[in-house]
Amino acid sequence: MELKNAVAVVSGANRGLGRHLAAQLVERGAKVYGAARRPEAVDVPGVIPLRLDVTDEASIQEAARVASDATLLINNAGISTGATLMGGDVAEVRRDMETNFFGPLAATRAFAPVIEGNGGGAVLNVLSALSWFHPAGLGSYAASKAAAWALSDATREELAPRGITVSALHVGYMDTDMAAGVPADQKVAAADVAAQALSGIETGLPEILADETSRYVKQTLSGAPQPNAG
């Protein structure tokens, strides 16, 4: 997909990776709607603030109505409650799923007809190496990202006949607020991840592996599950 003159909607554009994606899209010549629950927090030069709460169906539908010229949807907004699947608060598990799975699903369903009507385009889902690696301590988040990986694969097949490509971005630790407690030498720069993601969209990559962690974890999928310790 050619990004120059594309019309992009980037959720979670007020900070972190979303902010870098929005800024770099502008640099590449795209028109960009920077979507956030609080649009006033989107202050990237050249970006049009757009109200979007991915857990609110009415908000999603209104965003699709406003951004009626969209040709690219980037489902970047996400959370990590830190809940475990056995001991965590079920409400927190549901919150991870609502934001990280049902949110991108609802946004894709709302924007697919828009993108198709504008001649086709692309969807990018921002996932994680934890789509494939599921540590107990991050069980809720990992489950939501695994579900979003399945979402990416299934919608890729479903939307292809409508002229819409679907890419999934996987990354380990990234230098954003979500990984604030991780040592700096274990994190990749968000600007670098954004650049890789946009290049992947341009070349139509179905999966974009943005760092060594995601590449390593993907390679281990063919291995046998490890037995429980103890």
Residue-wise DSSP of 164-229: EEEEEEE-SSBSSGGGTTS-GGG-B-HHHHHHHHHHHHHHT-SEEE-SHHHHHHHHGGGSPPPPPP
pLDDT digits (tens, 9 = 90+) for 56-77: 999 999 999 999 999 999 999 9
Nearest alpha carbon to residue 149 among 95, 202, 221, 63: 221
CATH topology of domain 7-220: Rossmann fold (3.40.50)
Are 82 and 138 within 8 A, CB to CB?
A: yes
Angstrom distances, CA of residue 115 to CA of 20, 67, 194, 209, 222: 22, 10, 22, 25, 35
Mean of the pLDDT values across residues 164-177?
A: 86
Dig out the tokens for 229 from the structure.
């310790």
Are 97 and 142 within 8 A, CB to CB?
A: no
Average pLDDT, the chain: 93
Helix extents (H) in the chain: 16-27, 57-66, 90-97, 103-117, 139-159, 190-203, 212-219
pLDDT at 184 over 70: no
The whole-number pLDDT of residue 230 equals 45
pLDDT at 88 over 80: yes
Angstrom distances, CA of residue 73 to CA of 13, 117, 129, 190, 221: 12, 14, 21, 19, 28
pLDDT at 182 over 90: no
Mean of the pLDDT values across residues 86-114?
A: 98
Q: Is the pTM of this model over 0.85?
A: yes
The three-class DSSP label of residue 69 is coil
The whole-number pLDDT of residue 186 equals 62
pLDDT digits (tens, 9 = 90+) for 197-210: 999 999 999 999 99
Mean of the pLDDT values across residues 41-46?
A: 97
pLDDT at 179 over 60: no
Nearest-angstrom CA–CA distance, 107 and 52: 9
Confidence of residue 123 (pLDDT cuts 50, 70, 90): very high
pLDDT digits (tens, 9 = 90+) for 129-170: 999 999 999 999 999 999 999 999 999 999 999 999 999 999
Mean of the pLDDT values across residues 175-186?
A: 54
Q: What percent of the chain has pLDDT over 70?
A: 91
